[in-house]
């Protein structure tokens, strides 16, 4: 079977780690098998879908490096869903229902109080022609439900193993709303059929949808082979709770604005839920070869947002100057990058060290006598990597200081920080005049 997969977000908000995981797993599966990755915008929700969110989804995917081979938009295919709905009506599988949302809600409350199963009771199937006409005279417009066969629907899931659901445990799904627009359930099936999707890879919250959609698929495409299904567990936080309340902080837009690298995100979420170690990768291609559904377990993987930060630092430490040059301050060269890179968690932090080397800094007050001795022994230029060692050796011999007692006051005076890049590399970037001024307690 040739591989054709789809990532189908609704443009009703920004992408977050949960739905980007679906995009990444589909993308990796397609690339591993030489297949097609389709981006399909499920924008049939007229009230909540916006062009701005649609554009943002594309922007986020491009930033992550998840390129797509084909593109579709459900709002461009409304005629196909209407045709499918008419076909189902002719088969007797789509029937009109006139209940209002309030009436359905009250009916569910009644089922709960009676201890019954909360499924639609198919009351609309018992309506007479006169009753339907009376409802329509009131101005009610019907929504349309798919008549499920009350049978066991099963499939062999690529991650979960064999899955089976009896249709009597779920409500007949609404496929067409009262305003005539198709629901996700209908549009998704029609698209998967007509766009030739071979594998549906999505979160386990869609498992029940799959049982329903298999029946719709069989009704609409009796001669077409069903797609394969793979439902991966949803991500939980470190405490095992749903990430839903943290979606805003874990949106791709927020992570990007916070200086997180795209490969820190992909390196983590590609391996969540597997026994494979999470390792910092700098290219998506490095994640493709080790990908496989058999590696995923059934339990919900736990995500610690701090792990993204740790991965980010490891990735930054691997990046060559050419990969980051355009994101560094003007004038920063390869020598500067090599000097500060080991101390960065995010590339944006390099600007702080550049400012320290090029802009006035208030030194931290120290032992004036010691710093005066340091200033007196300061070598003449030119300076190189050996200057720091020669200077501190002479200063140690003159003062009897060594270790932290020798080095920390110098670092504080020159950088106003206790930690940072190696001083042997940083000192030549400061230059003699700036170094001398800071040793003398002057802002420089």
Summarised one tens digit per residue, pLDDT across range 326-363 is 999 999 999 999 999 999 999 999 999 999 999 998 87
Residue with token string 């990430």: 243
The rounded mean pLDDT for the chain is: 93
Roughly how many angstroms between the first and final C-alpha of the chain, as a whole number? 68
pLDDT at 114: 54
Instruction: Look at residue 112 in the predicted model and tell me its pLDDT.
Output: 61
Phi/psi of residue 384, nearest 5 degrees: -145, -170
Nearest CA to 394 among 169, 57, 386?
386
User: Residue 254 corresponds to which tokens in the numbers above?
Assistant: 């927020």
More confident position, 106 or 127: 127
What structural domains and CATH numbers belong to the chain?
321-357 (no CATH), 360-439 (1.10.10.350)
What gap in Å lies between CA 391 and CA 33, rounded to an integer? Answer: 59
pLDDT at 248: 60
Residue 116's pLDDT band, with cuts at 50, 70 and 90, is low
Place of tokens 């199937």: 125
* Residue keyed to tokens 């417009």: 141
Is pTM beyond 0.75? Reply is: yes
List, for residues 61-70, the tens digit of each pLDDT value: 999 999 999 9
Q: Are 431 and 381 in contact (CB under 8 A)?
A: yes
**Secondary structure, 3-state, 85-98:** HHHHHHHCCEEEEC
Phi, psi of 154 (to 5 degrees): -135, 160
Report the range of poorest mean pLDDT among 232-241, 300-309, 354-363, 420-429. Answer: 232-241
User: 383 preceded by cis ω (within 30°)?
Assistant: no
């Amino acid at each position: 079977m040739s591989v054709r997969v789809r990532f189908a977000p609704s443009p009703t908000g920004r992408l977050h780690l949960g739905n980007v995981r679906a995009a990444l797993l589909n993308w990796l599966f397609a690339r591993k098998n030489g297949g097609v990755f389709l981006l399909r915008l499920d924008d049939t929700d007229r009230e909540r879908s916006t062009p701005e969110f649609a554009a943002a989804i594309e922007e986020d995917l491009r930033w992550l490096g998840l390129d797509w081979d084909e593109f579709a938009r459900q709002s461009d295919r409304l005629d196909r869903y209407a045709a499918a709905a008419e076909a189902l009506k002719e088969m007797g599988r789509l029937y009109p229902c006139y209940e209002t949302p309030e009436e359905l809600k009250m009916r569910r409350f009644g089922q709960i109080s009676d201890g019954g199963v909360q499924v639609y009771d198919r009351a609309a199937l018992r309506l007479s022609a006169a009753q339907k006409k009376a409802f329509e005279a009131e101005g009610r417009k019907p929504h349309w439900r798919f008549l499920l066969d009350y049978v066991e629907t099963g499939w062999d899931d690529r991650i979960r193993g064999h899955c089976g659901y009896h249709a009597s445990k779920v409500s007949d799904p609404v496929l067409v709303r009262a305003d005539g627009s198709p629901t996700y359930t209908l549009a998704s099936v029609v698209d998967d059929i007509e766009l030739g999707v071979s594998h549906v890879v999505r979160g386990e919250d869609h498992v029940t949808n799959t049982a329903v959609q298999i029946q719709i698929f069989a009704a609409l495409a009796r001669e077409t082979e069903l797609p394969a299904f793979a439902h991966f567990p949803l991500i939980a936080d470190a405490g095992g709770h749903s990430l839903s309340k943290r979606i805003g902080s874990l949106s791709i837009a927020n992570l990007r604005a916070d200086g997180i690298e795209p490969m820190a995100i992909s390196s983590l979420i590609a391996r969540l839920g597997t026994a494979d170690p999470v390792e910092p990768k700098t290219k998506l291609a490095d994640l493709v070869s080790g990908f496989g559904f058999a590696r995923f377990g059934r339990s919900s993987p736990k995500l610690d947002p701090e792990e993204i930060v740790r991965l980010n630092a490891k990735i930054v430490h691997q990046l060559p100057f050419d990969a980051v040059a355009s994101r560094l301050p003007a004038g920063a060269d390869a020598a500067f990058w090599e000097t500060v890179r080991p101390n960065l968690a995010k590339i944006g932090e390099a600007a702080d060290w550049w400012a320290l080397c090029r802009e006035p800094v208030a030194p931290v007050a120290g032992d004036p006598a010691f710093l005066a001795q340091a200033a007196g022994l300061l070598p003449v230029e030119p300076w190189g990597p050996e200057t720091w060692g020669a200077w501190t050796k002479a200063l140690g011999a003159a003062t009897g200081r060594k270790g932290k007692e020798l080095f920390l006051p110098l670092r504080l005076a020159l950088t106003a920080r206790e930690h940072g890049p190696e001083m042997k590399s940083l000192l030549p970037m400061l230059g003699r005049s700036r170094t001398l001024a800071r040793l003398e307690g002057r802002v420089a």
